[in-house]
């Protein structure tokens, strides 16, 4: 290729890269704003639900109608109307935000008032013996209380390799224990990230050193088969290294498969590590933060975790694309 043609090709590629970076930057900024606002709203709803002693009501939202709330949360419509100080002839199809607008009350106030009515019903049901105590996390809580940091590290290491262990629950519990002073949050969060990244390295190493033959014979032990195998291969070939980041955040259940495939594909280890570390830091911040600030009810925390993860991903996209757009060195021009 002649020098002018080569230079033109490089310049065209650079312009295209900057256009893509600009689009990603705008998308990242918009996503950061949207997910930031949603994270704030879901956090307030979750916090008020915990203050009422009923985490399950954290999912109440202003768009819900009275009929929907009554049906979804098992509260009689008349009881709901009375608790919200509404006329008994109020239409069941009225959404909560309209009730707030009619009475000049902020949306969040009407949501918390609705949460209070539901929580009161839950408490009344408990007094009548119709409620059950949730004990889903007792076993892991006891293990973390007994063995502390080693258990946290082991669970996250095995989970990153592909073992069916409750990594999310363990991280949330570590956040809870850090909040009450049982664990030191800098050490606990550092162990969570380091153990997860160590597991990623093990997965990458298995794929890189063992080779395709080993994975073809024993890949099912890591979940590398069937629909999951097809899905992760499509993601990796479509998005390349970004898949490593995505599978540590938005689709974390596929992280071990992505590590394995990255090793099989001889993907650059330095790039793999960069994406893996960023992804693990984001994921740990979301789950550990949820436990630290809002407690152990993962189901109730689901909306907050999803929005927080989306916020962290959008912010990362904005930062990375901004760096590429504004700080990428210009290609050198050959001297005559």
- Closest alpha carbon to 200 in 265, 312, 277, 264: 277
Structure tokens at 233: 């291969």
Q: Domain check: are 155 and 104 in the same one? A: no
Tell me if 322 is assigned to some domain. no
Tell me if 24 is assigned to some domain. yes
Q: Domain check: are 47 and 157 in the same one? A: no
Identify whether the C-beta of residue 94 lies closer than 8 Å to the C-beta of residue 66.
Answer: yes
Identify whether the C-beta of residue 159 lies closer than 8 Å to the C-beta of residue 195.
Answer: no
Separation of CA 229 from chain center: 22
Tell me if 308 is assigned to some domain. no
Instruction: Give how many domains the chain has, as a whole number.
Output: 2
Tell me if 56 is assigned to some domain. yes
Q: Domain check: are 110 and 210 in the same one? A: no
Which of 97, 115, 134 finishes a domain?
134
Which of 70, 102, 134 finishes a domain?
134
Tell me if 303 is assigned to some domain. no
Structure tokens at 33: 């704003």
- Torsion sign across C-alpha atoms 199, 200, 203, 209: negative
Beta carbons within 10 angstroms of residue 298's beta carbon: 20
Q: Domain check: are 88 and 209 in the same one? A: no
Q: Domain check: are 147 and 98 in the same one? A: no
Q: How far is the first Cα of the chain from the last one, in angstroms, to the nearest whole number?
A: 17
Burial class (CB in 10 A: 0-12, 13-18, 19+), 228: middle
Q: Domain check: are 153 and 113 in the same one? A: no
Q: Domain check: are 160 and 211 in the same one? A: yes
Q: Domain check: are 235 and 92 in the same one? A: no
Q: DSSP string of 183-239? A: S-HHHHHHHHHHHHHHHHHHHHHIIIIIHHHHHHHHGGGGT-SHHHHHHHHHHHHHH
Residues in a beta bridge with 95: 65
Residue 68's domain comprises 1-134
Tell me if 309 is assigned to some domain. no
Residue 209 sits at the vertex; the CA angle it makes with 204 and 210, to the nearest 5 degrees, is: 100
Q: Domain check: are 210 and 261 in the same one? A: yes
Identify whether the C-beta of residue 276 lies closer than 8 Å to the C-beta of residue 200.
Answer: yes
Tell me if 117 is assigned to some domain. yes
Please give the model's pTM, rounded to 2 decimal places. Answer: 0.57
Query: Which H helix or E strand runs over 78?
Result: helix 77-83
The two most distant CA atoms of the chain are separated, in Å, by: 90
Q: Domain check: are 122 and 209 in the same one? A: no
pLDDT by residue for the chain (336 residues), tens only, comes to 555 555 555 556 567 777 777 888 888 888 888 878 877 777 777 777 777 777 667 778 888 888 888 887 778 888 888 888 888 888 888 898 888 888 888 888 888 899 898 888 877 766 665 444 344 344 555 676 678 899 999 989 988 988 878 788 788 888 888 888 888 999 999 999 999 999 999 999 988 888 777 767 766 666 666 566 676 777 777 777 778 887 887 667 778 888 888 888 888 899 899 999 999 998 898 888 878 876 656 556 666 766 777 777 788 778 777 776 776 554 444 444
Which of 105, 134, 163 finishes a domain?
134
Tell me if 328 is assigned to some domain. no
DSSP 3-state of 95? strand
Q: Domain check: are 14 and 156 in the same one? A: no
Q: Domain check: are 51 and 161 in the same one? A: no
């Amino acid at each position: 290729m002649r020098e002018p043609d080569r230079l033109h090709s490089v310049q065209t590629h650079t312009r295209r890269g900057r256009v893509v970076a600009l689009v990603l930057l705008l998308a990242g900024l918009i996503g950061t704003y949207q997910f930031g606002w949603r994270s704030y709203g879901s956090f307030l709803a979750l916090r008020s639900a915990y203050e009422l002693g009923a985490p399950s009501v954290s999912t109440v939202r202003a768009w819900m109608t009275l009929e929907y709330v009554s049906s979804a949360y098992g509260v009689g419509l008349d009881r709901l109307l009375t608790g919200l100080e509404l006329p008994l002839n109020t239409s069941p199809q009225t959404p909560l935000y309209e009730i707030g607008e009619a009475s000049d009350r902020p949306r969040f106030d009407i949501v918390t008032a609705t949460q209070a009515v539901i929580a009161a019903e839950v408490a009344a049901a408990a007094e009548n013996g119709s409620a059950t105590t949730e004990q889903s996390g007792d076993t892991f809580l006891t293990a973390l209380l007994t063995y502390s940091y080693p258990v946290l590290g082991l669970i996250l290491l095995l989970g990153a390799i592909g073992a069916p262990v409750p990594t999310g629950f363990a991280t949330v519990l570590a956040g809870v224990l850090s909040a009450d002073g049982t664990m030191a949050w800098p050490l606990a969060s550092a162990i969570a990230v380091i153990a997860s990244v160590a597991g990623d390295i093990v997965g990458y190493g298995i794929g890189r050193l063992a080779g395709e033959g080993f994975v073809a014979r024993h890949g099912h032990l890591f979940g590398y088969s069937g629909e999951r195998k097809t899905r992760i291969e499509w993601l990796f070939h479509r998005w390349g290294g970004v898949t490593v980041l995505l599978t540590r955040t938005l689709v974390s259940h596929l992280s071990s498969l992505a590590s394995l495939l990255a090793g099989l594909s001889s993907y650059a280890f330095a790039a793999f590590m960069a994406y893996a570390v960023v992804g693990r830091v984001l994921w740990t911040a979301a789950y550990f933060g949820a436990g630290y600030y809002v407690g152990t009810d993962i189901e109730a925390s689901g909306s907050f975790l999803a929005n927080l993860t989306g916020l962290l991903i959008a912010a990362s996209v904005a930062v990375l694309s901004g760096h590429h757009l504004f700080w990428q060195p210009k290609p050198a021009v050959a001297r005559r």
